[in-house]
A and B are shown apart, each in its own frame.
Chain A
Amino acid sequence: MSLLRGLLGMELIGMWEKLFLDCQERFALLDSALILDVPLGVISRIEKMGGATSRGENSYGLDITCKDLRNLRFALKQEGHSRRDMFEILTRYAFPLAHSLPIFAFLNEEKFNVDGWTVYNPVEEYRRQGLPNHHWRITFINKCYKLCDTYPALLVVPYRASDEDLRRVATFRSRNRIPVLSWIHPENKTVIVRCSQPLVGMSGKRNKEDERYLDVIRETNRQVNKLTIYDARPNVNAVANKATGGGYESDDVYHNAELFFLDIHNIHVMRESLKKVKDIVYPNVEESHWLSSLESTHWLEHIKLVLTGAIQVADRVSSGKSSVVVHCSDGWDRTAQLTSLAMLMLDSFYRSIEGFEILVQKEWISFGHKFASRIGHGDKNHADADRSPIFLQFIDCVWQMSKQFPTAFEFNERFLITILDHLYSCRFGTFLYNCESAREKQKVTERTVSLWSLINSNKDKFKNPFYTKEINRVLYPVASMRHLELWVNYYIRWNPRIKQQQPNPVEQRYMELLALRDEYIKRLDELQLANSAKLSDPSASPSSPSQMMPHVQTHF
């Protein structure tokens, strides 16, 4: 509601209340007073249903499709033409781009006591990794985004590659996305390098500088005499890409490299798979053949392939002691999934709240995952072929990992869900636009608030009480179908039957445990204080935090 008010003023509030009443009528069957708080950014499509002559209850009104796997249907009364106005106002503010209006994040005047934009500083992050060193240098060649307009300004490249080399390599890589360092192993100094596909084409073009450049990367680490290249795509897709000028590194040209395909499908396959998930969970859960219906969406199978790919990357770097190059076609979807998940497995820093924010900021936002195209912020074109739940799939993989390693992550499930909610909400500037250059042009960091401001100013809500900080532990999740499960608390949270379980008992448990732990730490401090000061006050007695949390009834 607050967002609506902020954006639309009183005009819609009046109508919203009417709408609210109507929907309360409609949902009254589910015996709960419904409170809707839908950020307009989440709306993907608004349709009118029924006409002036429609008969029957609830046959006339608005049907709103949301990006977060739910549909809202408002039944209205036919008299008074209230629907037309409502439709227009909603369309106008849900799709500001089509009406030359600013996205809500630019109007949002929320204030937080921490500034999330300062979380990620690339120089500091690379310094944390021990960079630059005598094999790798930081270059500002892309300062004005002239080398590659979808890459960040600051890149880490081999010390022995000159700027001129980089420019030549750029001509041979799709959209100039040259191989650059994402992560370096603190001990064995092997690296994860990301890029886009080489522009081999049908004729099998070669580029001496590109071949030499990959060899230079290989030579930064002398433990293994081969460089490993992971092409995220299925083999056939990689071959088919030759027709449009792309391709892959064939081993008769790149002698010192081994190429593996990871069989992860493209954005269109993922979009269709998620659509099928929505079909079986909303508005009704497919009950009679739940498991086989779930299997037929292939969603978990895709999750499995992404995780398996990331495990291979991590294992190659950590145990295989070989440097790894990861790419897909353009290197901004599957590549981002693989590098960020592998880094999460390898580097415990990214498993803290701020570390994870840095990981997202670095591997996804700064390296040009096309958030604007994949999500369609403020865009009314809901059927755009560029839409795809790639980032959601990544967060799902993180959730699967956090299930298998309950003590390894500082953040909890709510943290992940909050990120996903604001992926669509347009309340923060964090996920707006496709790349750093566009964000800079729009002065996003000056004109909008960062999502990390919201999260970091209230960190306790997002903490996992089981978290045990461990350095240098590599996590290898089990990517077998037996150990993957559907993220019910995210995908099925809008189902009215599931919604009854709020507040989620697990979250209650989290809060209680945190309280318990804090209480313990506090008491320990006080005890030490009391003992050292030899204070004595017989009247006070310890009181434990109230633990009584009645469970909310669930329907069956």
Chain B
Amino acid sequence: MEFAEMIRTGQAQAELLRGPEEPPLRGTLCITGHHLLLSPGPQATPDLWLLLLRNVDSIEKRVAGDSGTITLRCKDLRVLQLDIEGVEATLDIARSIEALSSLESVITSFPFFYRPKGLRLGDAWHFHPPECYYKRVARETNAWRLSEANEDFSLCPSYPRAVIVPRAVDDSAVARSARFRQGGRFPVLSYYHAPSGTVLLRAGQPLTGPQKRRCSEDEELLRAVLAGARPGARGFIVDTRSPQAAKQARMTGGGTEAKAAYPGWKRLHRPLERGRPLQESFVRLVEACGDLEQSMDRWLNRLESCRWLSHVKETLSTACLAAQSMEQEGACILVHGAEGTDSTLLITSLAQLILDPLSRTMAGFQELIEREWVQAGHPFQLRCAHSAFSHARPKHEAPTFLLFLDCVWQLGRQFPLSLEFGEGMLLALFDHAYASPFGTFLCNNEKERCLCEVRTRTHSLWSGLSQPKEQRKLRNPLYVPNPLAIWPSAEPQSLRLWQGLFLRGTRPPEPSEVAWEKVWQIVTDQEKTEGSQPTDSASEPGP
């Protein structure tokens, strides 16, 4: 196999430091095509320490005397230090890690080789096909249909094979609307809010260009949306760019919906940061959190100047705006920015979490991520190529998905009972989005996934997470189904730094897990008594 050429050394003796809390680990270090392994030797605990090479974000080597030190900064924000015997061995290992961690080919990546016990290939991939969500919508309204116009991905490579469009619009109109939208991303249904009979849609920007082009099929599609909702329904187009940026986009062929062309629809601009500035904010924040030597007198100033929490604030308040317009004003919402694959998805997915109790369950949340992020064409491969430590020049990296997870964490903090999943789930999703043995977050869209046969040749993260031993880490023991919308406060004093993620290395002495474990005990004790209840004996004294 080709990996063999990149592995420059067999093995070496090394000591691994994993942070101040954990004891160092000594043993034999070796490298395989996808992993760095440390085996502590026969007398120690038999546990093998394993690191996915893809998780390495940056590597730093130093040699002194007859030994060397390699510092690995991981995509999941952990920092590891390896003290290795032998200068040559150190350099060889460093070079091998460098080469193997930056491989770009998808089909040689680890998920294509990962065959864990107890999982069958192709197991959970089909839990969430578009048909599944359509069935839910169809139970409430018949104004929408499942269109397979994109079956061969020719209309839009970043949409799934089937999407939900207004019943009144036929596939040829859909095709023409696709040509009028960036990336072919015509307006499709993202969420149907049954209590108010309104819908949430997403799209790419219209290609109005400097000539202010129009597309009657696109206009017809949005007209049909309002007609299908309820008589006299209004619509809001939430553009995630500033009015200036939207106008400027016309020069490069993009633009925004002209007011006259879309009667009943009103445009709102809610500029959200994306791309490079967002990545830089992430890098600055991680740098600040990892900077232990600097005097901490100006910590809050520094935290503020990273601007990460203001991105959280803007995102949450825009999602609230969309959700509020649907729930309280009975309006239909179309969200788009430019490509419609980043900030757009942030808003549509968060609005659903606020409004839809089902999306706050364990299964519902997974379905939401699968539908609104993976299948909706968020380019995970490009966005998560590097994390906060990489020295490589950023190209398409942006922590959009992390920003989503952070917003969900804030929701969970403000409504500690209402999410069925806990912080552990959000941390797992962050880790797996950047480096994972599972195939769920591979590639940039459904078309690529299809070409690489991801769904037949790799395991789904959802199967991995459904293993019983994972459940305690992922679930929120306090969960109580809450049928109402949960309106978060996006006031700055209500938002917190996500310590569980950003301060992973420097945690308080009693991490929240201890408290959670206690809660689990209370909850499972209670279930146990219920379970062990003999059916023929009384739990309460008779009246």
Contacts and interface: CB of A to CB of B under 8 A. Distances in A.
Nearest to A527: B529
B506 to A, nearest CB: 7
A257 B298 CA distance: 35
B242 interface: no
B541 A526 contact: yes
A549 B494 CA distance: 21
Contacts of B494: 488, 498
A501 interface: yes
B289, B301, B478, B493: which has the most chain A beta carbons within 10 Å? B493
Contact of A542 (B300, B512, B540): B540
Given A295-B301, A542-B539, A551 B522 contact: no
Interface in A128-155: none
Interface string B473-516: 00000101111111111111110110100010010111010110
Contact of B304 (A291, A408, A543): A291
B77 interface: no
A556 B491 contact: yes
B530 A544 contact: yes
Contact of A516 (B297, B487, B526): B526
A406 B542 contact: no
B533 to A, nearest CB: 6
Interface size class of B (residues with CB under 8 A): 35 or more
Nearest to A294: B300
Interface residues of A, dominant DSSP: loop
Contacts of A482: 289, 296, 299, 497, 499, 503, 506
Contacts of A519: 526
Interface stretch (A191-199, A267-275, A529-537): A529-537
B510 A405 contact: yes
Nearest to B497: A482
B59 interface: no
Interface in A471-525: 475-478, 480-483, 485-486, 488, 492, 497-498, 501, 505-506, 508-509, 512-513, 516-517, 519-520, 523-524
Nearest to B486: A551
B121 interface: no
B522 A517 contact: yes
B538 interface: yes
B298 A295 contact: yes
B539 A523 contact: yes
A554 interface: yes
Interface string A539-552: 11111100111110
A488, A524, A535, A556: which has the most chain B beta carbons within 10 Å? A556
B523 A516 contact: yes
Interface stretch (A281-289, A430-438, A447-455): A281-289
A301 interface: yes
A407 interface: yes
A548 B289 CA distance: 39
B343 to A, nearest CB: 18
A80 interface: no
A441 interface: no
A468 interface: yes
B272 interface: no
A556 B322 CA distance: 12
A537 B515 CA distance: 38
Contacts of B538: 526, 530, 535-537, 540
A29 B299 CA distance: 37
Interface stretch (B133-141, B150-158, B373-381, B411-419): B411-419
Contacts of B532: 527
A203 interface: no
A468, A513, A520: which has the most chain B beta carbons within 10 Å? A520
B542 A466 contact: no
Contacts of A295: 298-301
B539 A505 contact: no
B301 A292 contact: yes
A509 B479 CA distance: 10
B415 to A, nearest CB: 6
A319 interface: no
A540 B542 contact: yes
A244 interface: no
A404 interface: yes
B225 interface: no
B489 to A, nearest CB: 5
B316 interface: yes
B496, B508, B530: which has the most chain A beta carbons within 10 Å? B508
Contacts of B497: 482
B171 interface: no
A407 B297 contact: no
Given A290-B493, A407-B510, A556-B487, A550 B539 contact: no
A476 B510 CA distance: 10
Contacts of A535: 537-538
A287 B492 contact: yes
A403 to B, nearest CB: 8
A285 B492 contact: yes
A538 interface: yes
A389 interface: no
A555 interface: yes
A285 B369 CA distance: 35
A234 B525 CA distance: 52
A406 B491 contact: no
A555 B487 contact: yes
B522 A291 contact: no
A291 B489 contact: no
B320 interface: yes
Contact of B415 (A294, A505, A540, A548): A505
A553 interface: yes
Nearest to A531: B537
A545 to B, nearest CB: 10
B317 interface: yes
A495 B537 CA distance: 52
B519 interface: yes
A488 B492 CA distance: 11
B518 A407 contact: yes
Contact of B529 (A290, A486, A520): A520
A246 interface: no
Nearest to A517: B522
Interface string A384-425: 000000000000000000001111100000000000000000
A526 B298 CA distance: 57
Nearest to B532: A527
Contact of A466 (B298, B515, B525): B515
A556 B539 contact: no
Contacts of A523: 526, 529, 539
A465 interface: yes
B2 interface: no
Nearest to B503: A482
A527 B539 contact: yes
Contacts of B320: 556
B345 to A, nearest CB: 21
A549 B301 contact: no
Contact of B508 (A404, A508, A539): A404
A483 B542 contact: no
B309 interface: yes
Contact of B493 (A478, A488, A554): A488
Interface of A: 281, 285, 287, 289-292, 294-295, 300-301, 404-408, 465-466, 468, 475-478, 480-483, 485-486, 488, 492, 497-498, 501, 505-506, 508-509, 512-513, 516-517, 519-520, 523-524, 526-527, 530-531, 535-544, 547-551, 553-556
22 contacts: A291-B303, A404-B508, A406-B510, A407-B514, A478-B509, A483-B499, A483-B503, A488-B493, A497-B491, A498-B493, A505-B415, A513-B519, A516-B522, A520-B526, A526-B541, A530-B538, A531-B537, A542-B533, A544-B526, A549-B480, A551-B418, A556-B316
Given A475-B509, A527-B529, 6 more contacts: A404-B508, A407-B515, A477-B508, A492-B493, A539-B542, A542-B530
The 7 closest A-B pairs by CB, nearest first: A290-B492, A295-B300, A291-B304, A406-B515, A537-B538, A481-B299, A542-B539
